[in-house]
Every structure is written in C-alpha cells, then in structure tokens.
C-alpha cells in the first residue's frame, strides 16, 4: 500500500519525524530564498511596539518550523516559522501584520482584515498587534501566538487570492492535532502546575508571622486563588500580595493608623528557590496588629478590590493567553453588582 504522506507516525517515533508528517514546510524558493528579500532600504522587521517583560521558556526548529513557548505558556511561531507553516512569503506575513495594526488604530476594517477580525474575535483576541514583542539575546523577537497562527494558516489555505497546498495540508493536520498541542509536544513542554509556586509560598510562610499580628500574604490568598482559578499564572511575574501590601502600607501611613492600632512590625518573608526574588531572602515584610484586621478587611473589599486591583491586573495582560480582553474580564471580577428593583 502506498504511504499516505499525511498519516501521523506512531507515538514512539522521533518527534522530528512526526512533525514532518503533521506540518509541511513551504517549498524553498530558488536563489537562496531571494524572493523573500525586502526592497532596497527596507527591512523585514516588524514596526516597533511596546516590548513585554516576558521571556522564552523554550524555542527550537522542529520539522523545519521555528517555534517556541513563552514563560506564561503561550505557544508561538516566529515570523519565519509562520511563513513556512502557511507557505507564504515573510513579506506577506508582515503586510498582514501592518494592516492589522492600522485597522486597530483607525477602527476601519476592510478587505482581508474583516476575516482576521471575525476569526480572532471568536478566540477573544483583540490585541493592537498580531505578535508579542519580546527580547532574545538583546534583540527584538516577534512571537505570533497560536490562535493568530491558525488564523493565518486557514487564510492562506482557503481565503487568500492565491491559496497554496502547504497551508491546506497543514490546516487539515493541525485541525486534528491542534497547534498548541503540536508545539507543546514538539518542544517537550509540559505546562507547570499553576498551584505549585503558590503552595510553595504558603508552606514557607506558615507560622512566620509573629503572634498578635496578621500578614498581607495570608489575607491575599483568596485573591490569589481566584486569579489562579481564572487562568493567571501566579509566579515571579505576578505577586498580587505585593500590590496589596504596598497599597495598604501607603494607606496605613497616610491615615496614621499606627496611632490608632499600634506599630506594625517587620518579619522575615521567604520566597521559594524557583523565584528570582529568593536570591535576597529573607525579605522584610510588614505584619500588622490584629486590632487593625477589621479595618484592613473593609479597606480591601471597598477600596482595593474595586479601585486598585483593576489597575494592577491590567498591567499583567501580557501574561494572559487572552491578552487585554481577558485582563479586563479579570478586572471586573470584584466590580460591585448593581441591585435590581
């Protein structure tokens, strides 16, 4: 029986071999891909945007496709990898990226941008750019998240004026396999238990607060549990209790609560070794008199959660797969509910 080139090899096969069955890199152009070169004086680099404080967990080339996973678990393809996956020139990927940025800025959606808007809206993606700009070896690096990549593959398979078989083949295979799963498996990436670091901090800080005082970390655990349950990775990049503690500390000083409840005291606060903050352990954290607990609870519920927390969580939008849209949903978690009637 002739071999079906679209059949995925058994699971015990080398993954590079499996990858070659799942995705088909674009056919190289003649003259060392000279067809991908920009015009004189132009560069294939994407226009500048705000760079995010987000690193690469793992990246390599698999089956001819350059791919990776960011620290927050978002799988991505590089612009070069996306061009290979879609069978399109990098110039075409750049043009679509620029058109998206223009449409987001102007609010005018026309031509193929209506396809990308409709497709990505279903994935709750509404970011200013189609890529995430990060830093790699000191240089800008452009990571296209998996939902954007699938939109591109489907576009070049069925919607573009000049569709191609590379995109069609890859779309059919990835529709079955899933791009996120493909990238995770290809790179041997296993998502970290979202509760691991939180539980490690809880264990380290047990019984560390002096008797007669309460800690902001312990009082913030409910918020952290809500955020982890909602999908925000609570790790070295997100320390919600730091936001709560800093804001409460300023409130404590501004309102001279020490005169009312007595002085706060410092206690040793340790971070798990997985946190870079652990290099300067122990940290000096503030514990507050139990007599101030009721006032803290009232402040936390009526001031911090509805007015301060939204600002904090929106700054963490880059850590969420759904970006700013998802961050805004999280920002509304504690929004006061309107009573009917």
Walking along the chain (341 residues) 10 residues at a time, the average pLDDT comes out as 36 45 52 30 34 73 90 88 95 96 95 95 87 82 92 96 93 89 89 78 79 92 83 70 90 96 91 79 90 95 88 72 71 63 39
Q: Does 135 sit behind a cis peptide bond, omega within 30 degrees of 0 on the bond before it?
A: no
Amino acid 204: pLDDT: 74
Our CA angle for 128, 134, 139, nearest 5°, is 125
* pLDDT the model gives residue 292: 96
Q: What is the pLDDT of residue 35?
A: 30
Chain centroid offset of residue 160 CA: 29
- H helical segments located in the chain: 15-22, 30-33, 79-86, 90-106, 112-122, 146-154, 165-177, 179-187, 196-205, 216-219, 221-230, 240-254, 257-261, 293-299, 309-314, 323-331
Amino acid 83: pLDDT: 95
User: From CA 292, how far away is CA 298, in angstroms rounded?
Assistant: 10
- CA atoms lying within 13 Å on the CB side of residue 73: 17
What dihedral angle (degrees, nearest 10) is formed by the CA atoms of 104, 108, 110, 116?
A: 20
State the Cα–Cα distance between residues 98 and 94, nearest whole angstrom.
6
pTM for this prediction: 0.60
> 178, exposed or middle or buried, with CB in 10 Å at 0-12, 13-18, 19+?
middle
**Integer angstrom CA distances of residue 84 from 58, 89, 93, 294, 328:** 19, 8, 11, 59, 34
> What end-to-end distance do the CA atoms of the chain give, in Å?
72
Q: How far is CA 94 from CA 156, 290, 312, in A?
A: 14, 58, 32
pLDDT of residue 94: 95
Which pLDDT belongs to residue 291?
A: 97
Beta-carbon contacts of residue 281 (< 8 Å; ≥ 6 apart): 270, 271
Whole-angstrom distance, CA of residue 247 vs CA of residue 241? 10
Write out the DSSP string of 88-144: --HHHHHHHHHHHHHHHHH----THHHHHHHHHHHTT---SSSSEEEEETTEEEEEE
* Per-residue confidence (pLDDT) for residue 34, from 0 to 100: 29
- Classify residue 321 by its DSSP letter: T
Distance separating alpha carbons of residues 189 and 296, to the nearest angstrom: 41
Cα maximum dimension of the chain: 87
- Supply the pLDDT for residue 1: 39
CB 324 within 8 A of CB 314: yes
């Amino acid at each position: 029986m002739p071999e079906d080139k679209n059949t995925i090899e058994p699971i015990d096969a080398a993954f590079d071999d499996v990858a070659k069955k799942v995705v088909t890199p674009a056919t190289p152009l003649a003259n060392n891909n000279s067809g991908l070169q920009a015009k004189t004086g132009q560069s294939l680099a994407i226009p500048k945007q705000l760079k995010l404080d987000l690193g690469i967990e793992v990246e390599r080339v698999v089956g001819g496709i350059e791919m990776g996973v960011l620290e927050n678990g978002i799988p991505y393809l590089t612009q070069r990898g996306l061009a290979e996956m879609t069978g399109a020139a990098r110039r075409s990927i750049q043009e679509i990226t620029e058109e998206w940025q223009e449409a987001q800025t102007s609010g005018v959606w026309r031509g193929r941008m209506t396809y990308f808007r409709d497709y990505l809206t279903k994935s709750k993606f509404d970011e200013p750019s189609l890529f995430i700009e990060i830093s790699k070896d000191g240089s800008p690096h452009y990571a296209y998240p998996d939902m954007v990549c699938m939109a591109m593959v489907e576009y070049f398979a069925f919607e573009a004026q000049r569709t191609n078989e590379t995109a069609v083949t890859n779309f059919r295979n990835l529709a079955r396999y899933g791009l996120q799963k493909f990238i995770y498996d290809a790179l041997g990436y296993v998502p970290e238990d979202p509760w691991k670091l939180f539980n490690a901090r809880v264990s380290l800080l047990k019984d560390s607060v002096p008797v007669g005082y309460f800690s902001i970390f312990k009082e913030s655990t409910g918020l952290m549990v809500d955020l982890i349950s909602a999908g925000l990775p609570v790790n070295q990049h997100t320390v919600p209790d730091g936001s709560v503690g800093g804001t409460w500390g300023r409130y404590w000083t501004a309102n001279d609560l020490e005169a009312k409840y007595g002085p706060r005291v410092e206690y040793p606060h340790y971070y798990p070794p997985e946190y870079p903050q652990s290099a300067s352990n122990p940290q000096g954290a503030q514990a507050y008199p139990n007599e101030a607990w009721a006032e803290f609870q009232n402040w936390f519920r009526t001031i911090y959660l509805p007015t301060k927390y939204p600002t904090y969580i929106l700054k963490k939008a880059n850590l969420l797969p759904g970006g700013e849209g998802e961050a805004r949903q999280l920002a509304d978690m504690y929004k006061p509910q309107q009573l009917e009637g």
